[in-house]
Amino acid sequence: MNAQRSVTVIGAGIVGLCCARALQRRGRRITVIDPGEPGRGASYGNAGILSTGSVLPEGKPGLWKKVPRMLLDPLGPLTIRPAYLPRLTPWMLRFLRNSTAARVERISAALSSIVLPGLTHYRELLDDIAEGRNPIRQQGCLYLYPKPADVEAARPDNEARLRRGVALELLGPEEVKQLVPALGVPAAGGALATASGHTTSPLRLSTLLAETIAADGGRFLREKALGFEFGDDGPSQVRTDQGRHGVEDLVIAAGAFSRPLAAALGHDIPLDTERGYHVMLPRSGLDIRLPMLISSLGFGVTPMEDGLRLAGTVEFGGTEAPPNYRRADAILTHARRLFPDLAVDGAEKWMGHRPSMPDSLPVIAQSPRFPSAHFAFGHGHLGLSLAAVTGRIIADLADGETPPIDATPFRVDRF
């Protein structure tokens, strides 16, 4: 019976698009509502890494000690805009509560269950796309440790990764040099997550999904969802800035902007945003073949179709404040120390909003209030990696089937 119900997906980021495509492949009629072009939110500017190594939450024991420095250094890898602190405090307190050793262990188990099969779910979702059009590659992802202290700092994380089943090879300076000959300074070491992938164009991945959905009869409405009208069984209409549309099944996937929509359905979710930046270098002059993450500096380096992308850092500042592109400049400064031959002409800067939950776990759930409503947001640093597996879980939940992964840790009412 569910298979006959149409689905309205709010948000055409990578998460909404993967949910829409997964449901369409099961025979559902799809409407996607977004005021912008598909894939132009956070999904546009990310580092493009389909990470299999990200099995640990952002919050770690002892992190609270670093908060004062975050407030004082606006160009550090992690910073808080002082004016935003009062609004952020409840989220930050939850974040710190989720950073104890016991919580980290539980969160890591839940993260592993969706992170490790992330790429497999993309393969399934895109298996009807011609090979040449698919912008996903699987060449691994290198954790790069510029200094000996970085190797030491990464040791517990790498031990945890290995315990969780991440395919990881620990590398010495020579092996790193062989993998990344463009490095201008000798690195102290590295770790290669061999099963990780990357996309050569996050935008093309979203566009490909959107075009496929449209070609198979999906409808895209360039409108902003504002709220809902309710019938006997739950939301019966979505109200937008341009009118009203009847809805049967519903998926809220509006990334960092999902909170008011979830609230309109009666769920108060502690969703905030970690703003991130990128610098796109169309003519970097470097031959870099695989993506890498430099955790100590808070950014990644990814070879893409349009050039080399440097992306990352975290800034707590909400959804309204204008970008501070000096943060993108700071990424560039760090990158030039690692790669002295980096050419920066034509550089483009960008800022986007990661949708972040204080326990580093996304919401992938059916509403306990209205079974026709589903939530798929809050993927933080991992929305690209987790979009396809999210689509699979949402499609199962909407169809009344048991997902292959226990979705309990991702409940909407866990707070």
Give the footprint of ligand FAD on this chain (CB under 6 A).
10-16, 33-36, 40-43, 45-49, 51, 224-225, 253-257, 276-278, 300, 311-312, 352, 354-355, 377, 379-385
Q: What is the DSSP letter of 379?
A: B
Nearest distance from C-beta of residue 300 to ligand FAD, angstroms: 6
- Beta strand pairing call for 373-377 and 363-366: antiparallel
* DSSP-assigned states of every residue in 95-127: HHHTTSHHHHHHHHHHHHHHHTTHHHHHHHHTT
Nearest distance from C-beta of residue 272 to ligand FAD, angstroms: 13
Strands (E), 129-282: 136-137, 141-145, 168-171, 189-193, 197-199, 219-221, 225-231, 234-240, 243-246, 249-252, 272-281
As given in the structure block, the two tokens for residue 304 are: 């893409």
For ligand FAD, the closer of residues 61 and 323 by Cβ is 323
Query: How many C-beta atoms lie closer than 10 Å to residue 167's C-beta?
Result: 15
For ligand FAD, the closer of residues 268 and 341 by Cβ is 268
Nearest distance from C-beta of residue 148 to ligand FAD, angstroms: 26
For ligand FAD, the closer of residues 46 and 112 by Cβ is 46
Nearest distance from C-beta of residue 102 to ligand FAD, angstroms: 26
Nearest distance from C-beta of residue 311 to ligand FAD, angstroms: 4
For ligand FAD, the closer of residues 177 and 204 by Cβ is 204
For ligand FAD, the closer of residues 118 and 234 by Cβ is 118
Nearest distance from C-beta of residue 138 to ligand FAD, angstroms: 14
Separation between Cα atoms, residue 404 and residue 101, nearest integer Å: 28
Residues 323-358 as b or e (16 or more Cβ within 10 Å = b) = ebeebbebbbebbeebbeebebeebebbbbbbbbbb
For ligand FAD, the closer of residues 152 and 289 by Cβ is 289
